[in-house]
Structures are given as C-alpha cells and as structure tokens.
Amino acid sequence: MPSHHPGADAIGRRALLTAGAGTALALALPAGTATASPNRPFGRFGSPAARLTGRTLYVHPGGLGDHTTVQAAVTAASGAGWTLVLAPGTYRETVSVSAARTGMTWLGASGDARDVVVVYDNAAGTPRPEGGTYGTSGSATTTVQADGFTAQGVTFANDFLRSDLPGNPGTQAVALKVQGDRSAFFHCRFLGHQDTLYADSTSLPAFARQYFAHCYVEGDVDFVFGRARAVFEHCHFRTLVRTDLAGAPYGFVFAPSTAGGNPYGFLASRCRITSEAPDGYYKLARPWVPSSDPTAWPSLVIRESVLGPGIDAAAPYANMRDAYPWQAQRFAEYRNTGPGAAVTVPENRPQLGAAQAATANRETYLGDWIPRRPCA
C-alpha cells in the first residue's frame, strides 16, 4: 500500500509484545477454555507423548515439543490436514505456509491469544540480505497460501516501527498475509501499524473466502487491506496514535482492493472501532486500486457496528488516488451506531436499504462454506 507520511513513532507495540500478556491491557481478548502451565505447556491439547492425532505436532520455544519454531513445524507437516499446537511464548521468526499444506490448523495452547505471539519486524523498505528490499508482500511475518487454514488463539504481529528506518517511505509492515480460500481465524490478534492484515488471494481470478470471528486488529494506515472476500464478525478494530503527524488524518481502517469481477469484498458485521487517537482523526476506509489491477472495484460494507469518536463522522471515506474516487466504489453502511457513525453529511455516508442489507451477510459472502471453530 502507498506510504502515508513516514516518520518516527514514539508509541509502538514492541514493548507490549516483549513484556508479556499482563501488559497488554487495551489489547485484551477473553481467555478461552484451554489452559497451559509450565507443567502442561500444551494445555488440554495433548503432548508429543499423547498426541491428539497422528497428524498433530507440538511447538515449544524451550524444547518440550516436537519443534522449537513454528516454521520448523510447518516444514515438517508436509501434505494436508496437520494441526500445530503452539505453547505459550514469543516466536520471533517469519513463517510461510505453502499452498500444498491444505487444511492446516494452528491452536494456541492456552486459549488466550496474548500468550502465543508470532512476530517479526520486516518492513517494505527493509533491506534484504541478498539485495533490494522486501516490499509490502515480502514484509509479512506470516504468509498463508494454503486453502483451509484455521487459527485459534494466536497473535500475528509485526513490530516494525517507523523509527527503525528513519526517512524511509517503505513503512508498510504486514503481520499476516493470508491468500488461501476457506481461511478462518477465531479469537486471534493482529498487531502492527501500516498494513497489519493483508486479506488477499493467490491470483486475480481467485475469490478467496476468509472469516474472522472475535478477533482484534490494530494499526494506523490501511491496516485491513486486500482483495479477499473477507467477513469480520464481532471483531475489534483499534486505531493507534501517531506522534509523527501534526494533524488528521492519521490513517484508514480499511483499504479493500476487490477485483471487479468479485461481487463481494469486505464485510464487517457487529464489530466495533475504538481509537487511541483524538476524536475524528481516522477515516473508515479508502479504496485501493493497485497498478497491477486497474479494473479493481473496491467493496466494503460495515453494518450494525459501533464506531467510536476516533472516526471522522462528517467525512469517513477518502481517496487514495483521485483517479479512483471513493464515491465510485462499493462502499456502504447499515445501522451503525456510535459517535463515528453519525450521519451529518448524508452524501458522505452511503447506506444500504433493507433489501440490500438482507443479502449482506456471512452466508452470502461465504457461499457453501461454513467456518467451524476447531475446538470449544
């Protein structure tokens, strides 16, 4: 995604990630029913001596599992249908799940996503050892290309700070790039600044369906973006303060790049948007029409969600490029509440009618796929 006012960030998430779960007060998610302790690092999900199934691998940073890194476990899990149980810990690494590893599941052993953190700090402008830079896609801490991927109780993070590359415009830093069809995330966290969550597909004609339930996503510029057909239900989006900017806007929550042939893009239903920033300093969205697909027709529906005062109610949308005005895209809302949802300038807030809203739901967007949480 295009950079937006690079500069130094005095406030980041690196300290929260390294200080442990108790520090992340504003980032809390309800704990799940699973538990993990030093004596039972994998909670109720078995152990290498008592596996859930023959295709279950255990990851523990201290060596009590089959592997000490997530990538080592992914590499060992060749083929389809593997489950990785991740013990509490911070896994500082990049991870790639190839297209051949279909039906893979990651389970955070404690049931609390704050306990299991997969994090790295590459950015688009970070130099590669072999030369050049990573670019936006290459900056991802975790990349998932496989269909049927599911994660529960895991934090995906990129803790790059703008101050790491002063003056460099390549501040895009992806926590998760997910491209596979039928990808589901339950009670997960996605932490970053610019371009945190890249909901994408493997190719332009591929309409990848993705589902996010009870997840937490934070960032500042375009921090939920891409061309996937993605449904967010009961999710919490939080916009961050920016000390490098003197005024609004600080950034944008969504930046869809939906393919023109895809009837559905992003749907946020019964979600909430809160902010660390001053009132009105964030926009809901801007359309991304990438140079690789000038025919993109970005699509976003936000319905029955609570929009906090951090959202600019009078002008919640903006252009990324004037050649592709937001008014020409598929942006709409339905029955949102909160200070950021106030309709003060009606032409700036397109609304769905009742008939349109009747089909703007999970079932329509996901078709014959019913996401299922891997365990209670």
- Edge to edge, the sheet with strand 56-59 lists 56-59, 83-86, 105-108, 150-152, 183-186, 209-213, 229-233, 266-269, 299-303, 330-334
Q: How many CB atoms lie within 10 A of CB 193?
A: 27
Long-range Cβ pairs for the range 99-104 (8 Å, 24+): 99/145, 99/146, 99/147, 99/180, 99/202, 100/146, 101/74, 101/77, 101/146, 102/146, 102/147, 102/148, 102/180, 103/146, 103/147, 103/148, 103/149, 104/74, 104/77, 104/80, 104/146, 104/148, 104/149, 104/150
Catalytic (active site) residue 222: yes
Q: How far is CA 286 from the centre of its chain?
A: 17
Distance CA 360, CA 305 (A): 14
Determine the 3-state secondary structure of 105 from DSSP.
strand
Distance CA 275, CA 278 (A): 8
Tokens matching residue 32: 């799940």
Q: Which of 9, 195, 200, 312 is catalytic?
A: 195
Q: Which of 147, 200, 222, 312 is catalytic?
A: 222
Residues 6 or more apart in contact with residue 346 via CB below 8 angstroms? none
Catalytic (active site) residue 200: no
**Ramachandran region, residue 148 (left: φ > 0; alpha: ψ -120 to 50; beta: rest):** left
Residues labelled as active-site residues: 195, 222
